[in-house]
Amino acid sequence: MTRAAERIGTVLLLLAWAFPLYWMFVASLTPESRLFGVPQMVPRSLGLEHYRALFGERQFWLPIRNSLIVAGATTVLAVLLGAPCAYAMARLQFRAKSWLLAIVMAVSMFPQISVVSPLFLLLRSIGLIDTFPGLVLPYLTFAMPLAIWLMSAFLRELPREIEDAARLDGAGPVRTVVEVALSFTLGPERQTVPVALALFRGRYQVPWGQILAGSAVASLPVAVVVLAFQRRIVKGLTAGAMKG
Amino acid sequence: MNRRSSQTLLAVREARLAWIFMGPALAVLLLIATGPLLATLWESLHDHDLRLPWLGRPFVGLTNYQEAATDPRFQEALGHTLAFTLLTVSLELTLGLALALGLDSLARGRSLARLVVLLPWALPTVVAGLVWRFIFDSQSGLVNAVVGWLGVTTLQVDWLADPKAAWVPIVLGDVWKTTPFVALLLLAGLQSIDPRLFEAARLDGAGAWRRFFDITLPLLTPALSVALAFRALDAFRVFDLVYVLTGGGPGTSTEVISLYAFLVLMQDLRFGYASALSVSVFFVSFILALFYVRAARAAVVQQS
């Protein structure tokens, strides 16, 4: 009896969690004329008109391209710079280690607002405002500590014997770092598409259909990454959060 | 060469390698994080108003902090932020625990359940905000349609334009987006509990509630405190969700401190005062972060 109740409760909770995304998806496929009528749980007529408008007149390709560039560059840089740092923190002995680790963690806990104005002034003084590097650098502030944190947790769990065996085969720490970095390509940063979405305004009314179509498009890469890496994300998340 | 000196040599080499490895990452962090933070700290001690450039940038000591202490709008925003933190974190811990227990008991469909739970967490906050804004939209929103269908027309309000009602979508949006993280953390904690404990308790005749309160809850306390501190830290810094949903409005009725600091910076262009506000946010976050680190350490000690 209690088992059944528990199961029903869990399923209801999960449905509640899935519902907003379902609703977004359905609405993005609902023609404008029906969007303001009585909401229907199971849609009767679906169409791609919002998606057509999104990629036609809205030129949504542009923010998507920007997102890909910024996210790609941020991820590559965070992993590339973070991996050796994480290796040093997880495996090598040196003084001031716990201090440095604490500082790196503190950086990831900054309220973004507290570094905005000097960053803006800095980027302006070196002429990086409105450029891709000017976007990637601030993202790196938050992506890199996370990358270092997750990777060093991962490295600490990696049995030392594996590394020792690799060393006997002639592979040094550099090789380990490269391999960890390669196996660690999660970290989908996402922005610019969100910015474009946040700034979506219709001339006469809120273009909900298009906004939701855009949201669905923006969710797609995230959904794919989550689907592909869910086990590892869960593991990294919990290990990272517990072992900081 | 004797053994000891070769060992020190090794240690020196290892330390040197460590610094070489960490160099690039630390340099970048110094440039884009620590540097700007110190600059903000310094700026907060100056009167710097971009609208009044002829005043220059005189050093004023703690004047900006004194202004913050008596600024009613800052106090209001601080109150909003604290209330928001308290409410969302307690909801998230409760629901997160329920979700974790549910996920733990699932016999089938675990990976589908995990996907459902992970998606909202992984979504860009702006998308989450927009979805909830659509659901609470006054004309085409689902909530008002359902409320109308149920005949409770007194609840048919313009959610985002009402000073009190506007908090509902904000809190719901945050709970929806971040509870999954809490649930996954607690699930990891749950799965590290030795199942033999439950078996033994069951044999001794302890009921489900008894087992929950005497075994699950105490052993889950470290994971719970990590989740609590982590979420409190995040909730206190809330910005984009409020920005997307209400922009702090109507008026200033949903304004949180990060948003207020942002507006002082970008609209009023009062860089000095905005910096003082940001530093205040930073210090509270820092204290919360200290709690977090302590909680995390306790959790690790208990696990091993």
Q: Report, in angstroms and rounded to the nearest whole number, the Rg of chain B calculated over CA atoms.
A: 25
Check residue A78 and give its pLDDT. 82
Question: How close B4 comes to chain A (CA, Å)?
Answer: 17
Q: Which residues of B touch A222 (CB under 8 A)?
A: 119, 122-124
Per-residue pLDDT of chain A (244 residues), as tens digits, is 477 888 888 889 899 998 988 888 888 888 777 776 666 677 777 778 788 877 777 777 777 777 777 777 877 888 888 888 888 888 888 888 877 877 787 777 777 777 777 887 788 888 877 777 877 887 787 778 877 877 777 777 666 666 666 655 555 556 555 555 555 443 333 345 555 555 444 444 566 667 777 777 777 777 777 777 777 667 666 665 554 3
With tokens 């791609």, the residue in question is A48
Instruction: Measure the CA–CA gap between B107 and A9, rounded to whole angstroms.
Output: 14
CB contacts, 8 Å: A187 with chain B: none
CA–CA gap between residue B269 and residue B273 (Å, rounded): 9
Q: Would you call A197 and B137 a contact, using CB atoms and an 8 Å cutoff?
A: no
Residues of chain A positioned with their CB less than 8 A from the CB of B262:
113, 116
CA distance A14 to chain B (A): 7
Q: CA–CA separation, A70 vs A189, rounded Å? A: 8
Q: Quick one: how many helices (H) and strands (E) in chain A? A: 11, 0
- Of all residues in chain B, the percent with pLDDT exceeding 70 is 97
Pick from A114, A226, A234: CB nearest B279: A114
Q: What is the pLDDT of residues B82-135, one digit of tens each?
A: 999 999 999 999 999 999 988 888 877 777 888 888 888 877 788 888 889 888
CB contact under 8 A, A100 and B22: yes
- Interchain CB distance below 8 Å, B43 and A114: no
The per-residue pLDDT for B85 is 94
| Cα angle, residue A164 at apex, residues A163 and A170 outer, rounded to 5° | 90
The residue in chain A having the minimum alpha-carbon distance to the alpha carbon of residue B191 is A238
- Residue by residue, DSSP assigns B90-143 as HHHHHHHHHHHHHHHH--S-HHHHHHHHHHHHHS-HHHHHHHHHHHT-TTT-HH
Average pLDDT rounded to a whole number, residues B28-46: 87
Taking CB atoms and an 8 Å limit, are B130 and A215 in contact across chains?
yes
Token pair of A223, please? 């959904």
Q: B1 vs chain A: nearest CA distance in angstroms?
A: 22
CB contact under 8 A, A114 and B282: yes
Distance CA A185, CA B271 (A): 38
Nearest CB among A6, A81, A109 relative to B102 is that of A6
Please report the pLDDT score of residue B74 as a whole number: 93
What is the nearest CA distance from A47 to chain B, expressed in angstroms? 18
Kindly list the residues from chain B whose CB atom is less than 8 angstroms away from the CB atom of residue A119.
32, 36
CB atoms within 10 A of CB B293: 16
Chain A nearest-CA distance from B253, in A, is 20
pLDDT at A166: 60
Give the per-residue pLDDT at B34: 83
pLDDT at A195: 53
Tell me the average pLDDT of chain B: 85
CB-nearest to A111 from B14, B184, B278 is B278
Strands (E), chain A: none
Quote the ipTM score: 0.79
Report which of A151, A203, A90, A230 is spatially closest to residue B118, judged by C-alpha positions. A230
- Give the pLDDT confidence score for residue B92 in this predicted structure: 95
Lowest mean pLDDT of B73-77, B174-178, B217-221, name the range. B217-221
Q: Render pLDDT for B181-212 as a digit per residue (tens, 0 to 9).
A: 899 888 888 888 888 888 888 888 888 888 88
Element of type H or E holding A206: none
Assign B254 to helix, strand or coil: coil
Of B113, B137, B265, the CB nearest to A116: B265
Nearest neighbour of A109 by CB, restricted to B105, B233, B299: B233
| pLDDT at residue A170, rounded to an integer | 54
Which residue from A minimizes the CA distance to B37? A115
Give how far B128 is from chain A: nearest CA, Å. Answer: 9
Residue B75: pLDDT band with limits 50, 70, 90: very high
Residue of B nearest to A174 (CA): B21
Q: How far apart are CA B258 and CA B275, in angstroms?
A: 11
Q: What is the pLDDT of residues B141-170, one digit of tens each?
A: 888 888 888 877 777 788 888 888 999 999
For B239, the closest of A82, A113, A197 (CB atoms) is A113
pLDDT tens-digit readout, B275-290: 999 888 888 888 887 7
CB B126 within 8 A of CB A197: yes
Best A113, A124, A136 residue to mutate vs chain B (most B CBs within 10 Å): A113
The partner residue sitting opposite B296, judged by closest CB among A110, A122, A242, is: A242
Q: B19 and A233: CB-CB below 8 Å?
A: no
